[in-house]
């Protein structure tokens, strides 16, 4: 370091940069084929999340500047529709990226091909690199959405709704990450993002053509299917999977927080009842939304039919001209200014 101070500076800065860029807390886990490098969570993850919050803000601005603003200039939307278009456009880009990434993770890790891996060997304290990095990026994105409410100048009426959405996503992702339920959390996020992608995609199509609502019907089908799969997964994991875990003792040091609770049938049934009630409330809001949308659609169609019938009646009752002349002082005149009546000839 005395002879090459620049090398020492580079080494120090490199270690600090790795703290921001790469996931921390890597450990070598012995396996049958040798050793496997995996990760667990800790306080240093907050530094990595902070770095990717700034990355998310930059990507948000790039999508807004080079895609959404150009489309908005062509559509000439109102202020309300302009704000909703920007929100749906950002979420379409995020959900599409997350769906592809999450699907790649769950397929390569074998969580879909082997559903029993969702609860086997719980708690899942050690995570593969791609699983931990996915969770850190998800937390960074939803945390970056908080300052974006100010940067995007969101209306005060929309802020409570968006805050509820952000809080629910953060609660789900952070809960799955900290309680070592990352495998189940990945599948549930994949299902949720799939339904949300079609919903916001339908919004974008609707803003470009208000008569095109086909994607809303596709979203309705996808939403119902994903809700059924979500409820099935909850029942499968909570009702049958976690109660069969070998280690049922409370052991926070090993990451086993509540599997011993699921051994109690009363607690297990209470949790399942809460899950079913929550899913039922979501379906109730969905059905209410669909009924309101169909009512508005049929009211609009009936008003158009009444307007068309009224226009046809006016055309039928419109008086027809019986001659090609015009009236002047109550007398019909011909086009050349002479009277249309025949003149009588005077006798000689």
> How do residues 69-105 score in pLDDT, each as one tens digit?
888 888 888 888 888 899 999 999 999 999 999 999 9
Distances (CA, A) of 204 to 79, 82, 95, 197: 15, 11, 14, 11
What is the domain range of residue 118? 39-303
Largest CA distance in the chain: 142
Sort residue 110 into left (φ over 0), alpha (ψ -120 to 50) or beta: left
One DSSP character per residue, 184-198 reads HHHHHHHHHHHHHHH
Q: Is 60 exceeded by the pLDDT of residue 211?
A: yes
Pairwise CA distance, residues 182 & 23, whole Å:
16
Query: What pTM value is reported for the model?
Result: 0.80
Residues 45-69 have pLDDT tens digits of 999 999 999 999 999 999 999 989 8
In this structure, are residues 266 and 254 in contact, taking their beta carbons and an 8 Å threshold? no
| Cβ-proximal residues to 158 (8 Å cutoff; 6+ apart), any chain | 83
Residues 26-40 have pLDDT tens digits of 888 777 777 788 898
pLDDT of residue 290: 81
pLDDT of residue 225: 93
Q: Is 80 exceeded by the pLDDT of residue 317?
A: no
Q: Is residue 240 in some structural domain?
A: yes
Of 146-155, 191-200, 248-257, the range with the lowest mean pLDDT is 248-257
In this structure, are residues 41 and 175 in contact, taking their beta carbons and an 8 Å threshold? no
pLDDT of residue 264: 66
Coil, helix or strand for 347? coil
Residues 6-19 have pLDDT tens digits of 444 455 566 677 77
Pairwise CA distance, residues 238 & 240, whole Å:
6
Pairwise CA distance, residues 87 & 92, whole Å:
9
Q: Within 13 Å of residue 86, how many CA atoms lie on the same side as its CB?
A: 24
Sole residue written with tokens 């120090």:
12
In this structure, are residues 231 and 275 in contact, taking their beta carbons and an 8 Å threshold? yes
Which residues are paired to 21 by β-bridges?
none
Q: Is residue 230 in some structural domain?
A: yes
Pairwise CA distance, residues 125 & 180, whole Å:
6
Q: Is residue 49 in some structural domain?
A: yes
Pairwise CA distance, residues 81 & 132, whole Å:
37
Pairwise CA distance, residues 258 & 271, whole Å:
12
| Six token digits for residue 267 | 């607690």
Q: Is residue 330 in some structural domain?
A: no
Burial class (CB in 10 A: 0-12, 13-18, 19+), 189: buried
Q: Is residue 110 in some structural domain?
A: yes
Number of domains in the chain: 1
| Six token digits for residue 66 | 């080079």
H/E run at residue 59? helix 45-63
Pairwise CA distance, residues 297 & 142, whole Å:
34
Mean of pLDDT over the chain: 81
pLDDT band at 263 (very low <50, low <70, confident <90, very high): low
């Amino acid at each position: 370091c005395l002879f090459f101070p620049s090398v020492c500076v580079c080494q120090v800065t490199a270690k600090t940069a790795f703290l921001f860029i790469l996931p921390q807390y890597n450990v070598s886990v012995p396996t049958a084929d040798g050793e496997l490098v995996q990760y667990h969570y800790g306080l240093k993850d907050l530094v990595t999340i902070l770095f990717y919050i700034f990355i998310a803000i930059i990507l948000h601005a790039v999508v807004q500047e080079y895609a959404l603003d150009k489309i908005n200039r062509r559509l000439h939307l109102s202020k309300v529709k302009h704000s909703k278009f920007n929100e749906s456009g950002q979420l379409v880009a995020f959900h599409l990226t997350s769906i592809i990434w999450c699907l790649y993770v769950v397929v390569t890790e074998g969580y879909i091909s082997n559903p029993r891996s969702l609860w086997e060997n719980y708690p899942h304290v050690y995570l593969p690199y791609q699983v931990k990095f996915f969770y850190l990026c998800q937390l960074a994105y939803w945390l970056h959405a908080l300052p974006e409410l100010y940067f995007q100048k969101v209306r005060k009426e929309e802020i409570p709704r968006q805050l509820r959405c952000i809080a629910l996503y953060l609660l789900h992702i952070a809960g799955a990450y900290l309680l070592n339920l990352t495998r189940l959390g990945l599948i549930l996020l994949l299902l949720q993002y799939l339904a949300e992608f079609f919903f916001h995609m339908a919004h974008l199509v609707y803003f470009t053509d208000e008569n095109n609502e086909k994607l809303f019907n596709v979203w309705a089908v996808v939403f119902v299917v994903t809700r059924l799969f979500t409820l099935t997964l909850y029942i499968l994991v909570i009702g049958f999977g976690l109660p069969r875990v070998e280690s049922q003792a409370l052991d926070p040091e090993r990451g086993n927080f509540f599997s011993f609770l699921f051994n109690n049938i009363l607690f297990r049934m209470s949790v399942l009842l809460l899950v079913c009630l929550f899913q039922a409330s979501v379906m109730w809001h969905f059905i209410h939304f669909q009924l309101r949308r169909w009512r508005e659609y049929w009211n609009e169609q009936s008003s158009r039919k009444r307007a068309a019938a009224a226009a046809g009646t006016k055309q039928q009752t419109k008086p027809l001209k019986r001659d090609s002349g015009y009236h002047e002082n109550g007398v019909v005149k011909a086009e050349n200014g002479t009277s249309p009546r025949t003149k009588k000839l005077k006798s000689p």
